């Protein structure tokens, strides 16, 4: 049975990057709250219509509804194969709902990995984003720079720094995230499920630490490398 993991951590820590790597290396299914919400809304399911009503009115989606949307995707084959949750749970109420569901399926959570990184590193990562004011293309000054500095590759328009990507705004986002995350981190610590993972440095360094963590706990073995066809 594959590992059933929750990824926690502030914006810019690399949760999405780590989830994709865990999927590639171990076969765990990555699950993002935002993506699942968008799928439900696009498909116009009953859950999707309800979620859309909250989103379009600017209201927070209730914890019970978030749990219902997420657990509706956790089929028995997926529980067996293993999954990585990114962006869920966000509150202790959601964590409790997830726990009740998994226990009822005799597939309890394997662990909650919390990514840690100095604020200066998070600021550098998040403040490097640039956006085209015309076509909306997204770049990063270090990780995905445009061919010409400050100019969009697609439409040759100037790139801008959105307010959300300015240093003061980022610091406030990180402060709010830290305060909101404390109860959830404490919840998983009390249950002996919390596992800190340093996310500073390169992505490869984070992957190496994650591999050692999984190996130490016997959570999974990497997929065997595919043989090239001769």
| 129 noted as active-site residue | yes
Q: Per-residue confidence at 226, pLDDT binned at 50, 70, 90?
A: low
- Peptide bond just before 40 cis, omega within 30 deg: no
| 68 noted as active-site residue | no
What is the extent of the structural domain holding 105? 4-129+162-217
pLDDT number for residue 120: 93
pTM of the full predicted structure? 0.85
C-alpha to C-alpha distance for 29 and 84, rounded to whole angstroms: 6
Q: Kindly state whether residue 56 falls inside one of the protein's structural domains.
A: yes
| 173 noted as active-site residue | yes
pLDDT number for residue 230: 43
Q: What is the mean pLDDT of residues 142-146?
A: 89
Q: Kindly state whether residue 157 falls inside one of the protein's structural domains.
A: no
C-alpha to C-alpha distance for 160 and 163, rounded to whole angstroms: 9
pLDDT number for residue 225: 57
Q: Kindly state whether residue 75 falls inside one of the protein's structural domains.
A: yes
C-alpha to C-alpha distance for 53 and 49, rounded to whole angstroms: 6
23-50: pLDDT as tens digits: 999 999 999 888 888 888 889 989 889 9
Q: Kindly state whether residue 134 falls inside one of the protein's structural domains.
A: no
Q: What is the mean pLDDT of residues 176-204?
A: 96
Q: Kindly state whether residue 150 falls inside one of the protein's structural domains.
A: no
C-alpha to C-alpha distance for 135 and 11, rounded to whole angstroms: 24
Q: Kindly state whether residue 52 falls inside one of the protein's structural domains.
A: yes
Q: What is the mean pLDDT of residues 11-27?
A: 93
| 162 noted as active-site residue | yes
| 90 noted as active-site residue | yes
Q: Kindly state whether residue 26 falls inside one of the protein's structural domains.
A: yes
The domain that contains 105 carries what CATH number?
3.40.50.300
Q: Which residue among 162, 178, 182, 212 is the active-site one?
A: 162
Mean pLDDT of the chain: 91
Q: Per-residue confidence at 224, pLDDT binned at 50, 70, 90?
A: low
56-110: pLDDT as tens digits: 888 889 999 999 999 999 999 999 999 999 999 999 999 999 999 999 999 999 9
User: How many domains, the chain?
Assistant: 1
Q: Which residue among 4, 125, 129, 130 is the active-site one?
A: 129
Q: Kindly state whether residue 13 falls inside one of the protein's structural domains.
A: yes
C-alpha to C-alpha distance for 211 and 27, rounded to whole angstroms: 13
């Amino acid at each position: 049975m594959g590992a059933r993991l929750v990824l926690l951590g502030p914006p810019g820590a690399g949760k999405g990057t780590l989830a994709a790597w865990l999927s590639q290396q171990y076969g765990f299914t990555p699950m993002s709250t935002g993506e699942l919400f968008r799928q439900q809304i696009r498909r116009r399911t009953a859950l999707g219509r309800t979620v859309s009503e909250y989103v379009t009115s600017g209201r927070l989606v209730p914890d019970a509804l978030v749990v219902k949307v997420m657990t509706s995707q956790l089929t028995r084959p997926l529980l067996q194969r293993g999954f990585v949750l990114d962006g869920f749970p966000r509150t202790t109420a959601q964590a409790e709902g997830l726990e009740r569901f998994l226990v009822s399926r005799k597939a309890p959570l394997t662990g909650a990995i919390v990514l840690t990184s100095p604020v200066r590193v998070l600021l550098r990562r998040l403040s490097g984003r640039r956006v085209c004011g015309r076509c909306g293309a997204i770049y990063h000054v270090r990780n995905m720079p445009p061919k010409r500095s400050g100019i969009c590759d697609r439409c040759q328009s100037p790139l801008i720094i959105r307010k959300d990507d300015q240093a003061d705004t980022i610091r406030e986002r990180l402060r709010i995230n830290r305060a909101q995350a404390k109860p959830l981190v404490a919840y998983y610590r009390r249950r002996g499920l919390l596992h800190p993972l340093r996310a500073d440095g390169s992505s490869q360094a984070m992957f190496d630490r994650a591999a050692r963590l999984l190996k130490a706990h016997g959570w999974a073995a990497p997929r065997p490398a595919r043989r090239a066809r001769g």
